Structure 1
Amino acid sequence: MPLLAGYQIDFINAVCNPDNTQTWTYSVTKIDTPKPEISNWALILCSDPMHIVLDSSGPLGSTVVVGQGQPCLVTFSNTIKWENLSNDNVDGIYTFKLQGCFQPETLQNSVAVKAGPECYFGELTVPSCKPLNPPITPIRGIAFK
């Protein structure tokens, strides 16, 4: 739950869906009126195996860039970034859906906020590179005597 440049970013949950996808949900709340204003924020994603983002959402006016699109996290080859943000539209819920299900992991410098010319880094729960074990499906229709 880092507070970065006046913006509180919280991991809400990661839900493994029946179709072998996983929905990750975060919230962002501005505290008071931060200056300089946020322009974007990003999370690191795994590159081996490569996390594949199938869908994403954010507040009205925001756009999402997947891949190496965050100048603060330029050393990582896979990121998800929400951009076109300001104090007017930053508050809200942010989601993305991954192909497959992965264990949550809290990592240092896994989230970055770009406000003005500066980058601010924090520790947050993100998808690890470790897939969750597939659910066990009971075998039906077998009769034992």
Structure 2
Amino acid sequence: MTTARRVLIVMGTLVMGYAVTGALTDHDVKFGVLLFLAGVLVLHDGVLLPVMIGLGVLVGRFLPARLHGPVRAALVVNVSVLLVGLPLALGYGRVADNPSVLPRHYGWGLAGILAVTWLVTAIVILVRRRAGSLTPRAEPPARRRGSAG
């Protein structure tokens, strides 16, 4: 393990310890907030993380290697955007007697972000393909008789 990684782990642990200590000792923090944060942690580690790992495995299994990076990046962006934007697009929290709550057409915005993400992904793939086809391939080194390897 590199020194930088160790330093980051220690710093992250200290920051999380400070946050937990602050949340538990602050009298203004309600129990519901702590319960919500615990639920977010469980949902992230128990649902979102396995879904993302599964999508990454499927991309690795069914797509060519040159597409792995761009498609995985697009999936991370899309899942994150869907996680935040889908409740708004579905209208959760909209109140009939208060039109200022969720006043926009969030479904169109969500669809636009998803479309732009995949358009950029397609452009990246095409640019990489074009750049790869323009560069000459290196010849593998010739093997000599009697050399190991």
Larger of the two Rg values belongs to structure: 2
TM, length-normalised to structure 1: 0.22
From the two aligned structures, give the one with the greater helix fraction: 2
> So what's the TM-score if we normalise by structure 2?
0.21
Please identify which structure carries the higher strand content: 1
